[in-house]
Amino acid sequence: MSEAKVAQKAPYGVEVEAGKKYFWCSCGLSAKQPFCDGSHKVTSLKPVAYEATESKKMFFCGCKAAKTAPFCDGTHRNL
Ligand code: FES
Ligand code: FES
């Protein structure tokens, strides 16, 4: 599998913490959306690391098609 699965056709709003590192699930298979749980091992896809610079709510892509991954860019509206 090299194509990502749509986890949901909407972003996940997450309150991130400054200085904390997050691993966004790019494959769509994780049970802990929007973050990686290791399920990508059966695919050729890898998680995308993101380190928060400030504490605030961020919208992580759930459809896995955003060009601004790991964040939503509205692409889900056209799926
Ligand atoms: Fe999807 Fe790790 S489970 S990238
Ligand atoms: Fe993927 Fe918005 S959820 S672009």
Would the CB of 17 count as within 6 Å of ligand 1?
no
Q: Measure 78 CA to ligand 1 centroid, in angstroms.
A: 23
Comparing CA positions, the residue from 8, 11, 1 lying closest to residue 61 is 11
Q: In angstroms, what is the span from residue 37 Cα to ligand 1's centroid?
A: 6
- What is the distance in A from the centroid of ligand 2 to the CA of 56? 19
Distances (CA, A) of 28 to 11, 19, 54, 72, 76: 12, 25, 26, 14, 13
pTM for this prediction: 0.95
Closest by Cα among 4, 61, 3 to 34: 61
Cβ–ligand 1 contact at 34 (below 6 Å): no
Residues 6+ apart with CB under 8 A from 23: 35, 36, 47, 48, 49, 50
Q: Supply 69's token pair.
A: 């991954």
- pLDDT (tens, 9 = 90+) of the chain, 79 residues, equals 668 999 999 999 999 999 999 999 999 999 999 999 999 999 999 999 999 999 999 999 999 999 999 999 999 999 9
